[in-house]
Amino acid sequence: MHSRRGALCVSGTLYSVGGAGFVLLAGNVVCAGSFIVAEMNRLRGRYPRLSARQTYLKAIRHKCVAVGLTVVSTIVGMVPFLIYDREPFWYALEIGTMGGLAMSLLVIVLYLPALLLPGK
């Protein structure tokens, strides 16, 4: 039985190998998150008076270009394969990978602050 999830549902692709694209992209989220956390730790040592929120915002501003360019360049680089290669295996993998990359940006922007910043 096949089911549809996320970007695969939007594109009408069955959840076959495309799910592997989502799983493979979990590493991208971890890597980008570790860049931001490392920058936060560096800023905490350098500017001890900054609040956790200020430190997070400075770290995001400093690392967002590198993380964003990596994600956007990979997504744009896969577009020609979607246009010219309609083999089901590769098409599903590309859709899953592109969807995973897009979701990684949302995870970094929405969930990372919720995990790192203390509640009020």
pLDDT per residue as tens digits for the range 68-102: 888 888 888 888 878 876 777 777 778 778 888 88
Average pLDDT estimate for 26-54: 87
Q: Tell me the C-alpha distance between 27 and 62, whole Å.
A: 21
Q: What pLDDT, on the 0 to 100 scale, is given for residue 49?
A: 92
- Helices marked H in the chain: 6-11, 18-24, 26-46, 52-84, 88-106, 112-116
Q: Domain for residue 83, yes or no?
A: yes
Please tell me what DSSP assigns to residue 120.
-
Q: Is residue 72 part of a domain?
A: yes
What does 77-105 look like in DSSP terms, one character per residue? HHHHHHHH---HHHHHHHHHHHHHHHHHH
28 domain residue, yes or no = no
Tell me how far apart the alpha carbons of residues 64 and 52 are, in angstroms, rounded to a whole number: 18
Tell which wins on pLDDT, 61 or 16: 61
Q: Find the domain containing 66 and state its range.
A: 51-114
Assess if residue 81 is contained within a domain: yes
